[in-house]
A and B are shown apart, each in its own frame.
Chain A
Amino acid sequence: MTNKIVNSPAARISSLADSFKDVLKCGQQYVELLDQLASTDQAEDLLTAASKLTEQDLHNAFIDFPQHYQAADYYMLFMGRLLEMHQVASVTVDENQQHEFVATIDPLTDARFKFVVGANGEAAFTEQSQQQPLFYMNLNQRLFQFNNRALVNYFIVYALKKHSDLELRDAIKSLIEFANELADDLGFTINLGILNTANDRRFKLQQPDLRLTMIDRLFVKTGETDYMLMNLPHNSGAELLLDQGIKFDLSFDPDDYSQEWAFSVKDPGEQVSFFDILLHYNLVRQWYLADRDALAVRSEQLIITDDESTSPVATTVPAAPTEPTEPFPAPADQVTEPASAVRDSEKTPTDNGDVVDTETDEDD
């Protein structure tokens, strides 16, 4: 019976017409979303448009839509528009010859940034010449996270050869502003990683043990400077006294038997991050980069969960820095417990589709 109906010419034409209608409706929606992305002055509407556009599939058998953009471009447009709403002029988004949206950040004249979209719906803001993913965001989950290792690789190791520390600080500032706008306007959960300036923020080391000769090396380096490396109470680590009351600690909690070593930065105004110390202080930078294997900060997970299913999908994000005890604070049913997150993600695909071993996935 059904076969007969479908095979009848009238039914076939009607079915084809329906398909066209769907596609045209889809096209109409697409155009409306583009309008919304381009012209809304509401952050929520902007997010909705960008989020839908990154998921919309215009490919179909019936109609060839003209040249359109990729998901990565919508992420970039979203970023550009949100910054524009806040009058942040230092990030410029432009279309290149391949119709891709590319960002430049003042005053880094030579660098180009593009979003690279991963399999789990997270977009990595990636510097093109060094291929360093500086941060990740996921619009549906409203998550944002800086990549510590990439920040060090790109800014501290690479860009500092061409730019002054003050120029790099300005460039980073606009990225932090973007993260804060996501948090303030759209309730994103953001993780600033080593850019966090809170005094109580601690970055645990990747290696379980720290040879004290590592601290000896920093101590010896201070001999030629005006800075002094002090001993912390109960021999729980060392504290470098820097300018204007800034203290840079490498220490463990003496009350915690596990004695996990961690970096922290304390300053009177809570305005200085671990990254700032690496950026501004030659002494610390040289010491850190010379023994980066021993001093690298522990890898942490960006947990992206599937809204629809109860089984969480853990995505390994190299250098995603959260305390193992505090992954993104999301609703309880979306949070993967840290322990199981590590187990689940021991062999999980990265955004490149590569299988990586989380244990070796160390970051800064």
Chain B
Amino acid sequence: MASKNQDSKAVDVSQEIEGRIATKVKYLQELNYAIDQHHDRDVYRLLDNQRYAKEIEHREQQPNDEGVMSLVDDLADQLSSYLSVNLIKYLGKTYPFFYYEEYQTGHYRIYFGNWWDRRRFGELDVLNVRFSFDQTEYQMLNKSFELARKNKRYNSDRINKISSENDRLQELIDHRREREEKRQQIQAELKDINSRSGLFESSRNRATREELVTQLQKLEDQETEARTAAQTIKENEQVVLALSKENTILSYEQKSIIDTFGSFEDFELANRNLYANYLKSLSADQDAGKQVNADD
């Protein structure tokens, strides 16, 4: 009978709804408890079961139940802020050179170091336990490690180029008197030659004259450049200082990474394993009954 079928269908649907609601309630209850107890590892498991199963329990293909997980989508910023407390505490020990600024709830900027000048280095993705490095800045650091292997620094080539340009400009300034003497000498020669020019000027005379005019022009060009050279040197020195500063920042960063991780490769490896390593550190704390940030 149609109505009976419909009734049983309705029962199936209501059962399904009840089942689904029960799952959601159970999920929220579990999450609520984990939050209440500050069991951050459970919170992470509940927020991304698939990743947790794969990286912590080594069980592949454990799909996430999007239906329940999406329940707390609108709480992402608050959850991030909540979970950041223990995560940043952990990172303070494992990455002692990173500093974080919560510029809005649950969003964290990373600063590399606390030295005289430092770089903004991207953001900390708390919910995914992941650094989201600024790629331009990161590539600079990567490159500086490569160059260090060749005993070079990031801006060495540019600094050397500007420095030799400054040497050349200084030469121009230093040789002003010689240039003036040379100019007077050429002018005297020109005068002499001009007096012998005219309608029947010999080709040799003309060639010499043209050569002298070229030389004179070159001297005048140099003189023009020399007039602004002192200012250019000053400006170049400022550029060199800025480039040297960048070199210094990079060398501080390299030093920090080597002091903590031994090498850039080990730093990158640690970044890839950050989720697993962090959650394992939480497990150890929980197993020992000493959950980080517990109120005891």
Specify which chain B residues have a CB less than 8 angstroms from the CB of A223 in the assembled complex: 244, 247-248, 251-252
**Could you say which of A213, A215, A223, A238 has the most chain B C-beta atoms within 10 Å of its C-beta?**
A223
Interface members, chain B 230-265 (any A CB < 8 Å): 238, 241, 244-245, 247-248, 251-252
The answer to whether A230 touches B115, judged by C-beta atoms less than 8 angstroms apart, is: yes
The answer to whether A220 touches B248, judged by C-beta atoms less than 8 angstroms apart, is: yes
Complex Cα distance, B117 from A198, in Å, reads 28
Interface members, chain B 53-90 (any A CB < 8 Å): none
The answer to whether A220 touches B118, judged by C-beta atoms less than 8 angstroms apart, is: no
Specify which chain A residues have a CB less than 8 angstroms from the CB of B114 in the assembled complex: 230-231
Specify which chain A residues have a CB less than 8 angstroms from the CB of B248 in the assembled complex: 219-220, 222-223
Q: Report if A216 contacts B (CB, 8 A).
A: yes
Partner of B241 from A220, A222, A230 at Cβ < 8 Å: A220
Q: Report if B116 contacts A (CB, 8 A).
A: yes
Specify which chain B residues have a CB less than 8 angstroms from the CB of A99 in the assembled complex: none
Complex Cα distance, B239 from A213, in Å, reads 11
The answer to whether A220 touches B115, judged by C-beta atoms less than 8 angstroms apart, is: no
Q: Report if A217 contacts B (CB, 8 A).
A: yes
A224 smallest CB distance to B (angstroms): 8
Interface members, chain A 226-251 (any B CB < 8 Å): 228-231, 238
A214 smallest CB distance to B (angstroms): 10
- The chain A residue with its CB closest to the CB of B240 is A220
The answer to whether A213 touches B241, judged by C-beta atoms less than 8 angstroms apart, is: yes
A215 smallest CB distance to B (angstroms): 6
The answer to whether B116 touches A231, judged by C-beta atoms less than 8 angstroms apart, is: yes
Complex Cα distance, B251 from A110, in Å, reads 43
Specify which chain A residues have a CB less than 8 angstroms from the CB of B116 in the assembled complex: 215-216, 218-219, 229-231, 238
The 0/1 profile, CB within 8 Å of A marked 1, for residues 83-117 of chain B is 00000000000000000000000000000001111
Specify which chain A residues have a CB less than 8 angstroms from the CB of B117 in the assembled complex: 216, 219, 231
- The chain A residue with its CB closest to the CB of B117 is A219
- The chain B residue with its CB closest to the CB of A219 is B116
Specify which chain B residues have a CB less than 8 angstroms from the CB of A219 in the assembled complex: 115-117, 245, 248
Complex Cα distance, B80 from A119, in Å, reads 74
Specify which chain A residues have a CB less than 8 angstroms from the CB of B244 in the assembled complex: 220, 223
The answer to whether B251 touches A217, judged by C-beta atoms less than 8 angstroms apart, is: no
The answer to whether A228 touches B252, judged by C-beta atoms less than 8 angstroms apart, is: yes
Complex Cα distance, B118 from A230, in Å, reads 10
| Given A231-B116, A238-B116, A220 and B252 contact (CB-CB distance below 8 Å) | no
The 0/1 profile, CB within 8 Å of A marked 1, for residues 109-137 of chain B is 00000111110000000000000000000
Complex Cα distance, B252 from A231, in Å, reads 13
- The chain B residue with its CB closest to the CB of A213 is B241
A79 smallest CB distance to B (angstroms): 44
Specify which chain A residues have a CB less than 8 angstroms from the CB of B118 in the assembled complex: 231
B214 smallest CB distance to A (angstroms): 43
| Given A223-B251, A228-B252, A216 and B245 contact (CB-CB distance below 8 Å) | yes
Complex Cα distance, B248 from A222, in Å, reads 8
A250 smallest CB distance to B (angstroms): 10
Give the B-binding residues of A (Cβ under 8 A).
Answer: 213, 215-220, 222-223, 228-231, 238
Given A219-B115, A220-B245; 18 other pairs, CB 8 A cutoff: A213-B238, A216-B245, A217-B241, A218-B116, A219-B117, A219-B245, A219-B248, A220-B248, A223-B244, A223-B247, A223-B248, A223-B251, A229-B115, A230-B116, A231-B114, A231-B115, A231-B118, A238-B116
Q: Nearest 3 pairs between A and B by C-beta? A: A223-B248, A219-B116, A220-B244
Q: List 21 A-B contacts (CB under 8 A).
A: A213-B238, A215-B116, A216-B245, A217-B241, A218-B116, A219-B116, A219-B117, A219-B245, A220-B244, A220-B245, A220-B247, A223-B244, A223-B247, A223-B248, A223-B252, A228-B252, A229-B115, A230-B115, A231-B115, A231-B117, A231-B118
